[in-house]
Amino acid sequence: MTTPSAFYLDCDTGIDDALALAYLLASPLASVVGIGTVSGNVSAAVGARNTLDLLELAGHAHIPVAVGAHHPLAGSFGGGAPWVHGENGIGEVSLAPAAASLAGESAAEMLVRLARTHAGSLKVLAIGPLTNIAEALRLEPALPSLVDSVTVMGGAALAPGNITPVAEANIWHDPEAAALVLAADWDVTLVPLDVTMASVLEEPHQQQLLASSGAVPRALGEMLGYYFRFYEGIYGRPCSAMHDPLAAALAVGAVRPALAPVVRAAVDTTSGPGRGQTVCDMRGLYAGYPPVAGARCRVVLSLEEDFAPHLVDTLLTLGEDAAVLDSTTAALASAGALTR
């Protein structure tokens, strides 16, 4: 029996963040010990609300949630992406409001505390802008030596951007933070648009979730309806990318990359047309990406197999037992038996 790894999740709970969180909760390889939110798809506060509500629905109301940075390191939050994720961030799906309250620390403070508690074993999964991770590095310069791994959904190596011709959303929202994270003294696994746009969730997958007896899969299936409408404009049919859940599956080790070279990577923090671009040195392309001295960024470019079936099968395990857990948790919470 594999012992699950302790995860800190940093997210901007939008629709694919919700899929990623549900995936982590369902995975036997992960134990989510803390969640921080950051402004991106929605504000950090709305993201935290969505996260609390989803945790309660899934019967995991005990997991602490901390609100992180509202604004990026430079500049200010631009209001989110309602045309992609809905005004509420989860496709206008209404979840029952959680009884649980927010943690009394910032996301960066939570990350530093958990890294010290789980010294050497904490895995960090960042699926939103990297502001909280950068702030945690400022709070604790030794952070890289305290964590086991860092996986970031973000960037584009050889693929085009999705916010500008060269910039992906999570990086573009806070290039200065992303530059600090990629320059820190740790190995980062980057899950860029190159791989996340190459395999999609189709309508039959959504139908499987909607047909589930579990409240969480059904809610995710409803959220996908909104997400599919956005991506229909990109792919020409109702489907969606699986950015964040794919990063989660790679972080837990359930999905194997087919090609993931370790390269030098930096972030364009200028104010020109390249702002927010992940500048990955992919010149090893023609020689099979030979090792490069000083390279620390593993860029996942392709997978060994399609991710969608594994994602759906994993999410469907959040079945009716979650409803039972949920009512038990609610009873304990109302009895004041749960502490956050």
Catalytic residue, chosen from 60, 118, 205, 243, is 243
Told to check if 170 binds ligand RIB by CB under 6 A, we report: yes
Report residue 78 as tokens: 């631009």
Told to check if 161 binds Ca ion by CB under 5 A, we report: no
Rule CB under 6 A: choose which of 5, 6, 14, 189 binds ligand RIB.
14
Query: Rounded to the nearest whole angstrom, what is the least distance from the CB of residue 184 to Ca ion in the complex?
Result: 21
- Selected range binding ligand RIB among 62-70, 168-176, 282-290, 324-332, rule: CB under 6 A: 168-176
Helix (H) or strand (E) holding 110: helix 107-117
Q: Which of 21, 25, 16 has the alpha carbon at shortest distance from 36? A: 21
Helix (H, G, I), strand (E, B) or coil at 202: strand
Q: Note the Cα 239 to chain centre separation in Å.
A: 19
174 is catalytic: no
Query: Rounded to the nearest whole angstrom, what is the least distance from the CB of residue 206 to Ca ion in the complex?
Result: 19
Told to check if 243 binds ligand RIB by CB under 6 A, we report: yes
Per CB under 6 A, which of residues 90..149 are in contact with ligand RIB?
127-128
Q: What is the total count of residues that contact Ca ion (CB under 5 A)?
A: 5
Residue pair 307/202 in contact by the 8 Å Cβ criterion? no
CB closer to ligand RIB out of 122 and 246 = 246
Residue pair 161/51 in contact by the 8 Å Cβ criterion? no
Report residue 66 as tokens: 């901390």
205 is catalytic: no
Told to check if 36 binds ligand RIB by CB under 6 A, we report: no
Residue pair 276/167 in contact by the 8 Å Cβ criterion? yes
Told to check if 17 binds ligand RIB by CB under 6 A, we report: yes
Place of tokens 């305290």: 146
Query: Rounded to the nearest whole angstrom, what is the least distance from the CB of residue 327 to ligand RIB in the complex?
Result: 30
Buried b or exposed e, range 316-328, using 16+ CB within 10 angstroms: bbbbeebbebbee
Catalytic center residues:
12, 243
**In the complex, which residues of this chain contact ligand RIB (CB under 6 A)?**
12, 14, 16-17, 40-41, 127-128, 153, 162, 168-170, 243-244
